[in-house]
Amino acid sequence: MSGNQGYPEQIEHMPRLPEYEYPPPWIPYAERMDHPDYNTDHRQFLPRKIQLIRERASEALGFNIRGGREHYCGVYVSKVMPNSEADRLGLKEADQILLVNDIDFESIDHSEAVKILKINTNIHMVVRYFPYGYDKTYDKNRPNQHQANRPVIGDPYHGET
């Protein structure tokens, strides 16, 4: 270490903070009831049950997923095909899949989630709308599989300096 007050010379792998999000503009109280930035109805975020029944396992599910344990996040609905059974049942983009046929989907690999969804014709799901977690699936600052267990250069708590 040099004479820079005990800080390591190499700080190149320091984590980056997300950009600051400014609060929404001020809205007069009377206009807040129907304004999306001031929606206080938390019921939309509560878990809900959906039962999707297909005649054959080869039929399309009507939705796509993204995420999984290897991506350091849950499994989320990334697209719902218009006019599909999933669409009619109310499944929507940014729904986090919590359970499928009593199997925990909160810490499952993506490929295992796909397999479970595709092989079943009677799918009992518990989902919740969670856009914050879904947006994190697009976060490029998350550690990838190869960086997750690698110590930060110059980190005095995890590895050599």
CB atoms within 10 A of CB 151: 12
pLDDT at 59 exceeding the cut of 50: yes
pLDDT at 24 exceeding the cut of 80: no
pLDDT value for 157: 40
pLDDT value for 150: 44
pLDDT value for 11: 58
Q: Are 68 and 113 within 8 A, CB to CB?
A: yes
Kindly state the average pLDDT of the residues 33-55.
87
Q: How many residues are given for the chain?
A: 161
Confidence (pTM): 0.67
Closest C-alpha among 102, 110, 112 to residue 69? 110
pLDDT at 22 exceeding the cut of 70: yes
Kindly state the average pLDDT of the residues 28-38.
80
pLDDT digits (tens, 9 = 90+) for 74-114: 999 999 999 999 999 999 999 999 999 999 999 999 999 99
Distance separating alpha carbons of residues 159 and 138, to the nearest angstrom: 29
Helical spans, DSSP H, in 3-124 = 85-88, 110-119
pLDDT at 4 exceeding the cut of 70: no
